[in-house]
Structure 1
């Protein structure tokens, strides 16, 4: 009798564990980044014709408006940009590099159980495998609620340091007054001196306890429910569709190709390369500002 009860209990426990292990979901996110700063700088460039400005704005729209797919289970997730065919002349090196610096171009794997992430990055023709700990976001639970896609959501906010290698955080410095005295040409400046990057960014997230997983887009996590929307003041990532327990299961595993590197070392590599671009531009008679070809 005891043996039968033991077998039944073991079978039920195994079944429950199997269901928990098999649970999987898929969420589609639309990411949009404000281009106001870039448009202002283009309008102030006297060398840029209206046709050139229109062409760049169209290509910028492709970079600043993206679709991502998040496949997740109870402990891990993969977040990847939806694959789209580039139109002829639209897939240049500058475009690909900018895309990589704007959250695209790789597979972002999160393991919330181990509090770690792995993301593959293709930068300047080299493959990197960035491995590091997930950011420790100290979420503040707010009282506001709203409905997103039929799910009841709660608001949470957090403050996090701004990434120096995420192009979405860049704000070009305002042009100096034309009558102002020129700065000392002998004074050495760096690429980072040319950009305005806020020290901290306020994150607003909306999560739903109706999908009780500790997951979200990009490297956002740590709330008692799937994060359906994130807003950092410049970029909004909004979930447009959720599918739970589909018969077709996605493989959720970390990418493995590329040179293993920490986030700090990868950031330093990117900044160093941007500095080389800047110095190259100076050597060709440029004004020292950062310029990048958007086309092919």
Structure 2
């Protein structure tokens, strides 16, 4: 299976070089829906959390790529009415941008101006399981995503459905590395499902972030320090 992955990746990279640009739009919704317990909140807080949960399902994201870079970010739609729940959902679930350098093969996560270079290397397990997504034949792949939380290291199973027919080595967030565009992704927290794909023979401009970049280890130390100060 690993040999097949390597061959498919090589084929993907060759084919990808022939595609100049594209924009992929994803719908999103929670991977696990937990009912909000009204007894744990006062009336205003309960209303805010309930609205945030409903608003989260309205969030959409764009994955834009050209021959050098890709960018994944929230589509910031203008709301016709003031919605604190939507604002909260955007800040919690859509506050990060992910940039990928196809040549150097690394990700930069931009969290409101804070740039972090990610160690995004996943060991994907390809399976023969397939399904149709918007008329595209996709295959299932899984990997383990390990990350640090307040409770220590956490491992979540990630499920991706990729389409070899669309030779773009990209996915929502930083889950690249599959031989085809990922049309559906379940991170264990969020599910992304493709809504629309637009290809372009013109080079779409992507402004790769510049400035001070820190490592994930440095970011983890900063976060731990900030949490300890907050807990005092």
With the length of structure 1 as denominator, give the TM-score of the two structures: 0.63
Q: 1:252 to 1:52 in 2, by over 3 A?
A: closer
Match of residue 32 from structure 1: 29
| Structure 1 unmatched runs, 5+ | 1-16, 165-191, 280-296
Instruction: Report the CA distance between 1:91 and its aligned residue.
Output: 8.7
For 1:60 and 1:269, the matched residues in 2 are separated by 29
- 8 A contact 1:33–1:65 mirrored in 2: no
Over 3 Å counting, the alpha-carbon distance change for 1:233 and 1:128 in structure 2 is closer
Q: Contact 1:74/1:214 (CA < 8 Å) preserved in 2?
A: no
1:128 pairs with 2:82: no
1:208 paired residue number: 163
How far did 1:61 drift?
A: 3.4
Relative distance call for 1:267 and 1:57 in structure 2 (3 A) is farther
SS of 1:120 mapped into structure 2: strand
Cα 1:64–1:24 shift into 2, 3 Å: same
1:205-244 equivalence runs, <5 A: 205-244=160-199
Alignment counterpart, residue 208 of structure 2, candidates 229, 232, 254:
254
Q: Is the 8 A contact 1:107 1:255 kept in 2?
A: no
Question: Does residue 1:273 correspond to 2:226, yes or no?
Answer: yes
Asked if the contact 1:73/1:213 (under 8 Å) is kept, the reply is no
Question: Relative to structure 1, is the Cα distance of residues 130 and 198 closer, same or farther in structure 2, using a 3 angstrom cutoff?
Answer: closer
Task: Using the TM superposition, give the Cα deviation of residue 244 of structure 1 relative to its aligned residue in structure 2, in angstroms.
Answer: 1.1
Matches within 5 A, 1:1-296: 20=17, 23-34=20-31, 36-37=33-34, 39=36, 42-45=37-40, 48-49=42-43, 52-63=45-56, 65-85=58-78, 87-88=81-82, 90=84, 95=88, 99=90, 102=93, 104-122=94-112, 127-133=113-119, 135-164=120-149, 192-193=150-151, 199-245=154-200, 249-257=203-211, 259-279=212-232
SS in 2 for 1:68: strand
In structure 2, relative to structure 1, the CA distance for the partners of 1:231 and 1:91 (3 Å cut) is: closer
SS of 1:219's partner is coil
| Pair member with larger Rg | 1
Superposed CA deviations along residues 100-144 of structure 1, whole A, max 9, x for unmatched, are: 553x2243111233220112212xxxx3111234x2111111111
* Change beyond 3 A, Cα 1:74–1:223: farther
Aligned residues of 1:229 and 1:239 also touching (Cα < 8 A) = yes
Q: Assess, with a 3 A threshold, how the Cα gap between structure 1 residues 30 and 267 changes in structure 2: closer, same or farther.
A: farther
CA RMSD of aligned residues (A): 3.1
2:225 is paired with a residue of what secondary structure? helix
| Structure 2, gaps ≥5 residues long | 1-13
Please tell me whether the aligned partners of residues 32 and 188 of structure 2 are also in contact (alpha carbons under 8 angstroms).
no
Distance verdict in 2 for CA 1:236–1:84, change over 3 Å: same
- Alignment length (residue pairs): 217
Q: Is the 8 A contact 1:74 1:213 kept in 2?
A: no
Name the SS for the 1:162 alignment partner: strand
